[in-house]
Amino acid sequence: RRQANQAINFGLGILWDFPSVKLVPTAYERGVCASVPFIALPATERGTQQHLQPERMSRNGRRRSRSRSPRGRGGLPGSRYEIGKLQTLRPVQWSQVKLDPIVREPYRSKATYRRSEREISEWRRSKEITTKGHDIPDPIFTFEESGFPAEIIDELRYAGFTTPTPIQAQGWPIALSGRDMVGIAKTGSGKTLSYLIPALIHIDQQPRLRRGDGPIALILAPTRELAQQIKQVADDFGRALKYKNTCLFGGGKKRKQQDDLEYGVEIVIATPGRLIDFLSSNQTNLRRCSYLVLDEADRMLDMGFEPQIRTIIEQIRPDRQTLMWSATWPDIVARLVKDYLKDYAQINVGSLKLAANHNILQIIDVCQEYEKESKLSILLREIMAEKECKTIIFIETKKRVDDITRKVKRDGWPARCIHGDKSQNERDATLNSFRSGRTPILIATDVAARGLEAHTHVCLEEKRSAVPYPAVAPGSTEQAGGFW
């Protein structure tokens, strides 16, 4: 009966958004006990004849999703299943909910009191940092000035960090003060630790999780690759304070993710679509969430995740702390900030119209379509003759990725590819092989555009839509970028 009711509600959610769908009474509505729920399917081109089709069942009895949304993105808006789930997540009437207060200990750094305004201004100017907002805390210059627990500082030293990056030096005091924050910085600036360590400090100040509680900190990322990289950092630093995390993304082992949520984790790192999946099925909740991070916000919005993001934010208490990180500052990001951030401080490292990492040598080769493959072959011969030869080639379509990968292999070069049709195991194996250096050439669609370090070369093939990628694709180190 419960399964049938869920199917009925799901069908109604679809009906409002698709006029061509006519809901057919399920077996349960007709008074017949059904062991398998039924759903209404869209009308076919042959007419408006409706038909019923049971959900697919796996061998162990679990329902299998019919979603054909791109893997790793949690489902793009407009897919029939995603819309149905958005419809079931209604905004919470927070005025009618009694909330436990969020513990916010005031941030103080005695070391910064000894620095003059002139010294602070000169430091910000030298690091190309501009701030917006009132009462911006002064930056810190060393890890000891941050007031972090000794375990965190030891982990920073163990990871090889000696001093904070500019975005960390200015971002940590703001995040630790409990204010909402917007950070605009290029990829590779150290922003992951800019929000992750304050998240651990925030969690440490809150009451411990009880059975049935959701996470205290939520980090949203656009792709599964970025989410997994954030999890790796969260594993390293969360271990120091004994806080657990889980990573929710499409294509992963859903049972493992579900078990983590049931056991209880302080931090959830998720793609928007997969998180909505768990929220819709009541397998987790955001009642305890008081620290929200939107990483690569511009990328998530560019991928069409705005409805999902807004739905998720409405499930979180209004007095939360929200941190939004972006590589660029388009109007759509500014609107989201205006709607959901309060009394926020903004940090810009470089220009608001950030377009590229200036440590990167960019080479643009204008050529005819038929010349691309021959020029790529010549370029790869030059690159592979160098000692440092890790190379990422970004291509627009999945079919083109497969074609170029086969050609590069025929030329005798070790290459592997990733795109939305690859399974999670294939993606992980490819990325691990690339990072270790066993396969120095990675060919990919934009699914891997952020968070990868090629160390030497990034090639963008295909048409003009690839041009904005220098803001994100060539990562944190000094690299060369080529365009066709």
286/22: higher pLDDT: 286
Q: What is the pLDDT of residues 222-259, one digit of tens each?
A: 998 899 999 999 999 999 899 999 999 988 888 999 99
Strands 52-54 and 38-40, by their bridges, are antiparallel
Q: 257 in helix, strand or coil? A: helix
Q: What is the pLDDT of residue 18?
A: 40
d(CA 135, CA 320): 20
pLDDT at 64 over 90: no
Quickly list H helices, 269-397: 272-280, 297-302, 306-313, 331-340, 372-384
Residues 6 or more apart whose CB falls under 8 angstroms from that of 297 comprise 324, 325, 326, 333, 336
What 3-state DSSP class applies to 443? strand
| pLDDT number for residue 158 | 92
Domain ranges, ordered by start, for the chain: 95-349, 371-460
Residue carrying structure tokens 């200015």: 170
Query: What average pLDDT does this structure show over 107-120?
Result: 79
Is the pLDDT at 21 greater than 80? The verdict is no
β-strand 441-444 against 415-418: which pairing, if any?
A: parallel
Q: Which residue has the higher pLDDT, 285 or 31?
A: 285
3-class state of residue 372 by DSSP: helix
Q: Which of 179-183, 197-201, 367-371 has the lowest mean pLDDT?
A: 367-371
User: 99: pLDDT confidence band, cut at 50, 70 and 90?
Assistant: confident
Q: Which of 205-209, 234-238, 472-476 has the lowest mean pLDDT?
A: 472-476
pLDDT (0 to 100) of residue 61:
53
Question: What confidence tens digit (pLDDT) does each residue in 36-52 have?
Answer: 333 334 433 333 343 44
- Please list, in sequence order, all residues whose beta carbon lies within 8 angstroms of the beta carbon of residue 217, skipping any fewer than 6 positions away: 199, 202, 203, 266, 267, 268, 289, 290, 291, 292, 293
Judge whether residue 451 has pLDDT over 70.
no
pLDDT at 86: 61
Same fold? 95-349, 371-460: yes
pLDDT of residue 481: 52
Burial of 116 per CB tally in 10 Å (0-12, 13-18, 19+):
exposed
pLDDT of residue 10: 47
Question: pLDDT tens digit string along 328-363?
Answer: 888 899 999 999 999 999 999 876 554 455 667 788
The answer to whether residue 195 scores a pLDDT higher than 70 is yes
The DSSP bridge pattern shows strands 267-270 and 415-418 to be unpaired
Specify whether the CB–CB gap between 363 and 483 falls below 8 A: yes
pLDDT, mean over the chain: 78
Domain 371-460: CATH architecture, name and number where available = 3-Layer(aba) Sandwich (3.40)
- Alpha helix stretches (DSSP H) within 387-447: 398-410, 424-436
The answer to whether 454 and 391 have CB atoms below 8 angstroms apart is yes
Higher pLDDT, 16 or 396: 396
Give the class (CATH, top level) of 95-349.
Answer: alpha beta
